[in-house]
Structure 1
Amino acid sequence: METATPDDAPPANLLVVTGAADWPADCAARLSRLPVAASSLAYLNPQQAPRAHELRSRLRVITSSSPAEARAFSSYLGSHRRVRVVGSPQTDHLPVHRPEPDTVLVLTSVTYPDETGGAAPGTELLLACAERLAAAGAHVVVGMHPREDPSLWDRYEISDVPSVQAAGRAEAAIGIPGTVFPLIVAAGVPVVGCVDPALTVPDYLLDVCSSTIDDAALAVGAVGTAELPGEDVRYDAIGPVGGSADRLLDAWERAARPHPQRR
């Protein structure tokens, strides 16, 4: 994959944005001759972004992973247009679920914000939950967010594969609700959400949780009784499984086609 800035971007047929914050809005303004596709690849809260109006008239297509994500993304964009639900490419190759006894996957978020993005509250609670689980005999495997500080978790096994693939080993997962939660459920692993009062996420990320806890003393019991949500909840949050990358690329390819000239 090549990276570029607006100053050195190669010739292109389509600009794909994943949100309407300052950076994508600035890029769209600089690349004003390109058609735009908006694709939700990570969760966004269902409140209209201040600069969403700058993008709406240029959007050729809007895509999301699931029906629930589509509803949140529409609210974020302030759009009433149809959203094409394509599924998540990360579910195209799910691991075979072969849980290892007493193995729990801990799903981190980001403790400290930096110039590449924000952070989610709840790390202290999740660390305390991991300690309780380990003390109760669980083998803790940490699925690390790419921007998380690994030194916070180095007392445990840190997975050397992405969290979705690591889920194949786990009987259950626990973490701060985020984009990966529906993907872990898609892999057949129930999840428990650690919720800090300051955490704000779309409801569908909580709906896939077997339970949510705000006290580390509840972690062992919640993980031990964790169950997958019902099929209707799963589809609403996960979307179609299999062929998602092809559907997404097809949507982008169609959006990039020149519109016929009007006579």
Structure 2
Amino acid sequence: MQEANASAAGPVVPCRGTGCRAREAAGRGKQHRRPAQAPALLCTACRARLGLELMRLPDLYEECALALGASGPRREKVSGGPLPGMPFNATAADVRAAVMGVLGAWSALVVQERGAAAPRRDAAALARFLLQHVGWLAAHPAAGELSEEIARVVRRARRVIDPDAARQVAVGACVEPGCTGSLTATVRARTPHEPAEITCDADPAHHWLGHQWLQLSRRVRPGTAARAAGAATGAAAGTRWIGAADIARLWGIAPGSVYRHASRARWRRQTRSGRTYYHEADVQGTLAGRQGAAAAG
């Protein structure tokens, strides 16, 4: 078997995966990385993410091919592809080259260090080859770099396929008891009137919509909620003041509706640096009622 020569499980070490690096950045400390069981250098969640992204890369690579003639940075291409003078999406071409470069380089590492037969040089074969050796790669000293490079090229490919793709903001550690996952707030640019979503990378059952954020954020480590939502924290303990743009994003309503609700319901407000912020309790009281009425309808 592939892992037959792996050494016995060693001590617990901080994960080097890209997901845990994001946790560290959000929490401002290495202690926020999940544990990995040596000899592995990736935790269970980051290894699963690596495998999933390797499985997705061939399809992303092919979808980028479909985008070669779509809008984006353009240049003329005279050999192959569109005819001279026809639009050519240089970004899509660059991302496809990056996908092949990353998959090819890490496959060459496996071939050199493990003595494995080299795979065929196409995206599907290279990704499949790396998946076959993902356990060994997760224990390689460069496991963290592999995790980051694969995640980066996946993000680039997704931006080519959907330039208006959802924006993601790291929130912090999952608030569910015993969960070691990280929370991410997702805002979809193409559907701004849909609420933001807060999801956990370790357990998809840990999932909240934007309008539940005000309650959820009280359970998150102090400071992370305000950074994720862009909210301003009031001077009084337990009081939070929230900007109109963040209210619109979290509840999935038009900014104009925010101002209308604020006026009609007479939300308490304060101004800082030229921006207006509204009292959390007033926002929650009005929009929770709105949500309930929509559900009843």
With the length of structure 2 as denominator, give the TM-score of the two structures. Answer: 0.22
With the length of structure 1 as denominator, give the TM-score of the two structures. Answer: 0.24
Q: Please say which structure displays the higher CA radius of gyration.
A: 2
Please state which structure has a larger fraction of its residues in helix: 2
